[in-house]
Structures are given as C-alpha cells and as structure tokens.
Amino acid sequence: MTNLGIFSKYAEFFRQNVALIATSLPAACLVGASCIAAGWLAAWRWRLEDRLAAVINLWIMNYILVIVFSAQFFSPLEPTVAALYTLPFYALVIPVRAWRSWSVE
C-alpha cells in the first residue's frame, strides 16, 4: 500500500521519466545486495539461523520511513528508489529461504 501511495503521487513523473525508473531499479538491487553482504560479513562466524537473521535485518532497512521522509522533503527520485527497493527484497526472499534449506552446518 505504501508503494501504491508513492507511485500514485508521482504517476506523471514516472510517465515522463521511464529511463529514470529503469536505472533506479538496478540501484535499488545494488543497495539490497550490499545489505545482504554486510549482514553476511557481520555474522560470519554465527550459527546459520543467526546469520540469516542478520542478513535479513540489515537487508530490510526501514524503507517505509525512508519513503515517507523522502517523499515529503525531496524530489520524486529519492522515494522512487526507496519504493523500488521492495521489489528486489521480495524477489530474493524465496532464494534466501532456499539457502537455509540447502545449507548444511
């Protein structure tokens, strides 16, 4: 619902700047990948369950706060990247879950 609220507010901006949206999604994926890496490195020697929890906790930043704050005070680009961050997050939840199933410790 938050994404719909942001996307509806900037619908005209999105229609006029399709290329910007196309570059924002890879940027959001890069942020997500760096958070996964940071969580993995921070929990390098922990048990697998704790390591996965660290990865997810660093990965799911408080993007709702970022979206709302940036939508209020910045240009449409900032909340767009924050809102697009949810797409790689939800797309990678399944592989992270599978990672837990495949890992043997």
* pLDDT per residue as tens digits for the range 33-45: 787 788 888 888 8
> Which one-letter DSSP state was computed for residue 60?
S
Residue 104 is predicted with a pLDDT of 58
Intra-chain end-to-end CA distance of the chain, in Å: 39
The rounded percent of the chain whose pLDDT value lies above 90 is 0
Structural domain containing residue 46: 2-102
Q: How far apart are the C-alpha atoms of 87 and 83, rounded to whole Å?
A: 8
Task: Provide the residue type at 79 as one letter.
Answer: P
Domain total of the chain: 1
Using CA atoms, how far apart are residues 103 and 65, in angstroms rounded to an integer?
33
pTM beyond 0.85: the answer is: no
Residue 73 exposure: Cα atoms within 13 Å on the Cβ side: 6
Say what angle helices 18-42 and 48-59 make with each other, to 10 degrees. 150
> 52-61, pLDDT tens digit by residue?
888 777 777 6
Residue 103 has a pLDDT of: 65
**Angle of CA points 7, 12, 8, to nearest 5°:** 25
Question: Residue 58 carries which side chain, given as an amino acid letter?
Answer: L
Residue 62 has pLDDT above 70, yes or no: no
Residue 47 has pLDDT above 80, yes or no: yes
Q: What is the pLDDT of residue 2?
A: 67
